[in-house]
Amino acid sequence: MSAELESDDLTEKTYDSRLLRRLLRYLGPYKAPVAASFVLILFMAGLDLAGPYLTKIAIDDHISKGDTRGLVRVAGLYGVTLLLAFAVRFGQVFILQLTGQKIMLDMRRQIFGHIQKLHVGYFDKHPVGRLITRVTGDVDAVNELFTSGVVTVFGDLFTLLGIMGVMLAMNWRLALVTFAVLPLFFIVTDWFRRGARQSFREVRRWVAKINAFLQENITGMPVVQLFRREARNQAAFSAINRGHADANMRSIFFYAVFYPAIDLLAAVAIALILLYGGGRVLSGALTIGALVAFVQYSERFWRPISDLSEKFNILQSAMASSERIFLLLDTPPEIVAPVSPTALPDVRGRVAFENVSFAYNPGEWVLRDIDFAVEPGRSIALVGATGAGKTSIISLLTRFYDVQQGRVTLDGVDVRALDPERLRSSLALVLQDVHLFSGTIASNIRLGSAISDEKVRAAAEAVHAHRFIQKLPGGYDAEVKERGATLSTGQKQLLSFARALAHDPRVLILDEATSSVDTETEQLIQDALRVLLKGRTAIVIAHRLSTIQNVDEILVMHKGRIRERGTHAALLAERGLYWRLYLLQYKDQELLAT
Ligand SMILES: Nc1ncnc2c1ncn2[C@@H]1O[C@H](COP(=O)(O)OP(=O)(O)OP(=O)(O)O)[C@@H](O)[C@H]1O
Ligand SMILES: [Mg+2]
């Protein structure tokens, strides 16, 4: 699946009726504007046909007969068709573009809505950059199909058929002479189409590489500068940049040949018309006006044909884009609400893991036979080496993933039987890496919930965040920039405590909440923690054993299993894993002290 999404071009076929049908469904709500635009395009094509014919009339019926008044009349008519063409084209472009914008709006809303429903595990396997491309570039490509592809192709075809019809009706021999160039034209177009498609694909691939490289190295700028990778990065970027430029050059080559070649062919066609038609005029079989009209028609003939090959490219890239979009939309959310969720009006906050085993990837067990319970209002701590599976336990409780064996319950109800929204609204998760959104301090505490200003402030005061918030320019309305780049880690931590407290959850989960702040802040945090934990069920993960000495039970994890459990004192007396961990830290502290 991921490999499929990675590839930039899924569809080698240009045309896939299944995809196209599904795409056309997006036009559904806009039948009227699409139809209007369609009619206007046909009208436009008709007006296009009128010009040369009016020229013929002007020359044959009026100029050659010295009929000035008639000439003025025809010229006036010509002027009217031009004005009309202007108005029609304006209306058509406007309506179609507007519709295209609305379709993009619908599509983006749908894709983003779907992305939000996907379970957390999906994002482990699908890079953010590609998902962003789905919502931006791919939707654009589809839009282009609607605005300059599907609808206008009909206009082009109509113009072509119309011109051919009029030419044949006016003088079929001369018409056939004009069409003699067509086979050559098809050869050139086919060559162009193949070459351009190939080089476009290459350009797109290079663009994706540039984006990925930039994203990685701009977000990682501190590391880049710290490890002085600038020169190496510059070289790497130059290589990618050169690849991109080369690919572009190749595609430019095709264009540079194609359009002049078309011009040349068009000129050859006109030369043929003049050569053959001129002879016919001399022999009296053709009027001058008809000859002039033929030249004009033939000029108008090539434009839509060369446009068609361009539209072929649009169609192709829209097909590839829509296939990728639909693949994303068809990915079923793995974590869904049950059909009839168990109602849990009053959450007391009893959390239990019953013989839970879990693997992110089938067969690679990360958790084995995890069995514990936390009574409402009690606290538990998880300790253990890195990679032991502590965070994974939390991800199961919040139902970011589902267990393979056993069950996780809240108040005795399997979390899979609860509406995820209900479940998550009774939990609050405080992570070490605090994620802040753009907005204000207050909006980051509220996170969209209806929480009064007083409550926000009370929460901030209770966890000692009020002091630093007050000092910010604007206080609670101070803007949070770039995911909180201007706040310290400790400040962000306090902010996330305030966030948790303001939401007043029954169950509070802390993941390594206290591992990266100075002693003073740590004391603030410890104090804030006491406030936070009061009266709630708490699950605390901490690397610093000093912070969890007061919890009701400590679970010591080792390689996905619970190896020891008990209170701080009892575990120390046991002289096992916990004791060794404690000793290690204790020694560290002693070393630090000296
Ligand atoms: N999204 C994931 N996909 C696959 N494997 C994962 C994923 N997240 C974690 N793991 C693996 O699961 C194991 C347990 O990871 P987990 O994050 O639960 O450890 P932890 O005890 O929280 O460690 P730490 O103390 O470093 O935070 C590790 O071996 C890790 O490589
Ligand atoms: Mg962890």
Q: Which atom from ligand 1 is nearest to the alpha carbon of 121?
A: 1
**346 lies in a domain?**
no
**529 lies in a domain?**
yes
Do 305 and 359 have their domain in common? no
**Closest C-alpha to ligand 1, atom 7:** 360
Contact status, residue 524 vs residue 366, Cβ threshold 8 Å: no
Q: How far is the CA of 389 from the centre of ligand 2 (A)?
A: 7
Gap between the Cα atoms of 148 and 259, Å rounded = 19
- Which one has a higher pLDDT value, 512 or 414? 414
- Quick one: tokens of 358? 């879990």
Number of domains composing the chain? 2
Q: How far is the CA of 542 from the centre of ligand 1 (A)?
A: 15
Q: Is the CB of 560 under 6 A from ligand 1?
A: no
Contact status, residue 272 vs residue 20, Cβ threshold 8 Å: no
| Interstrand relation of 439-440 and 553-558 (parallel, antiparallel or unpaired) | unpaired
Of 275, 295, 329, which residue is a domain's last? Answer: 329
Residue 516's CB is within 10 A of a number of other CB atoms, namely 14
Q: Please give the average per-residue pLDDT across 374-379, as a whole number.
A: 92
What's the DSSP call for residue 181?
T
Q: Which atom from ligand 1 is nearest to the alpha carbon of 388?
A: 21
Helix 230-272 crosses helix 172-179 at what angle (to 10 degrees)?
150
Residue 167 identity = M
Do 382 and 459 have their domain in common? yes
pLDDT in tens, 379-418: 999 998 888 999 999 999 999 999 999 999 999 999 999 9
Do 377 and 323 have their domain in common? no
Ligand nearest to the CA of 121: 1
User: Which residue among 390, 396, 510, 512 is best mutated to probe the pocket of ligand 1, counting the most ligand atoms within 8 A of its Cβ?
Assistant: 390
Q: Chain-wide mean pLDDT for the chain? A: 86
Contact status, residue 579 vs residue 572, Cβ threshold 8 Å: yes
Gap between the Cα atoms of 270 and 303, Å rounded = 14
Do 283 and 175 have their domain in common? yes
Q: Is 552 helix (H, G, I), strand (E, B) or coil?
A: coil
Gap between the Cα atoms of 490 and 514, Å rounded = 9
**Closest C-alpha to ligand 1, atom 17:** 391
Q: Is 554 helix (H, G, I), strand (E, B) or coil?
A: strand
Q: Which of 398, 386, 381 is nearest to 529 (CA)?
A: 381
Do 297 and 403 have their domain in common? no
CA angle 38, 40, 41 (to 5 degrees): 65
User: Which residue among 119, 335, 364, 366 is best mutated to probe the pocket of ligand 1, counting the most ligand atoms within 8 A of its Cβ?
Assistant: 366
Do 566 and 497 have their domain in common? yes
Of 329, 364, 379, which residue is a domain's last? Answer: 329
Say if residue 483's pLDDT is above 80. Answer: no
Gap between the Cα atoms of 122 and 117, Å rounded = 10
pLDDT in tens, 161-173: 899 999 899 889 8
Helix 230-272 crosses helix 182-219 at what angle (to 10 degrees)?
160
**Closest C-alpha to ligand 1, atom 22:** 391
Q: How far is the CA of 562 from the centre of ligand 1 (A)?
A: 15
Say if residue 273's pLDDT is above 60. Answer: yes
Residue 569 identity = A
Q: How far is the CA of 367 from the centre of ligand 1 (A)?
A: 10
Q: Is 105 helix (H, G, I), strand (E, B) or coil?
A: helix
**565 lies in a domain?**
yes
Residue 12: CATH number of its domain:
1.20.1560.10
Q: How far is the CA of 459 from the centre of ligand 2 (A)?
A: 26
Residue 285 identity = A
Q: How far is the CA of 538 from the centre of ligand 2 (A)?
A: 16
Do 367 and 264 have their domain in common? no
Do 96 and 160 have their domain in common? yes
H/E segment holding residue 158: helix 151-170
- Quick one: tokens of 77? 């008519």
Name every residue whose Cβ is closer than 8 Å to that of residue 342 and which is 6 or more positions away in sequence. Answer: 413, 417, 418
Do 324 and 360 have their domain in common? no
What's the DSSP call for residue 60?
I
Contact status, residue 313 vs residue 199, Cβ threshold 8 Å: no
**Closest C-alpha to ligand 1, atom 16:** 389
Q: How far is the CA of 380 from the centre of ligand 1 (A)?
A: 20
pLDDT in tens, 418-454: 998 889 989 988 887 788 888 899 999 998 888 888 8
pLDDT in tens, 248-263: 898 889 888 988 998 8
Which of 378-387, 571-580, 584-593 shows the lowest per-residue confidence on average (mean pLDDT)?
584-593
Measured on CA atoms in the order 280, 284, 290, 295, is the torsion positive or negative? positive
Gap between the Cα atoms of 537 and 509, Å rounded = 8
Do 375 and 238 have their domain in common? no
Which range marks the domain in which residue 361 is found?
351-593
Ligand nearest to the CA of 124: 1
Cα–Cα distances (Å) from 469 to 463, 479, 498, 513, in that order, read 12, 11, 11, 20
Do 111 and 237 have their domain in common? yes
Q: Is the CB of 515 under 6 A from ligand 1?
A: no
Residue 516: CATH number of its domain:
3.40.50.300
**551 lies in a domain?**
yes
Of 135-144, 328-337, 538-547, 554-563, highest mean pLDDT: 554-563
- Around ion ligand 2, which residues have CB less than 5 A away? 391
Q: How far is the CA of 514 from the centre of ligand 2 (A)?
A: 13
pLDDT value of residue 319: 83
Of 329, 359, 389, which residue is a domain's last? Answer: 329
Q: Is 478 helix (H, G, I), strand (E, B) or coil?
A: coil
**536 lies in a domain?**
yes
Ligand nearest to the CA of 366: 1
**47 lies in a domain?**
yes
DSSP 193-239: HHHHHHHHHHHHHHHHHHHHHHHHHHHTHHHHHHTT-HHHHHHHHHH
**345 lies in a domain?**
no
H/E segment holding residue 509: strand 507-511
CA angle 459, 460, 465 (to 5 degrees): 150
Q: Please give the average per-residue pLDDT across 546-568, as a whole number.
A: 89
What's the DSSP call for residue 537?
E
Contact status, residue 355 vs residue 406, Cβ threshold 8 Å: yes
Gap between the Cα atoms of 292 and 273, Å rounded = 10
137-146 burial by CB neighbour count: b if 16+ within 10 A, else e?
A: bbbbbbbbbb
**231 lies in a domain?**
yes
Q: Is the CB of 392 under 6 A from ligand 1?
A: yes
Q: Is the CB of 388 under 6 A from ligand 1?
A: yes
Q: Which atom from ligand 1 is nearest to the alpha carbon of 385?
A: 25
Do 163 and 273 have their domain in common? yes
**Closest C-alpha to ligand 1, atom 10:** 360
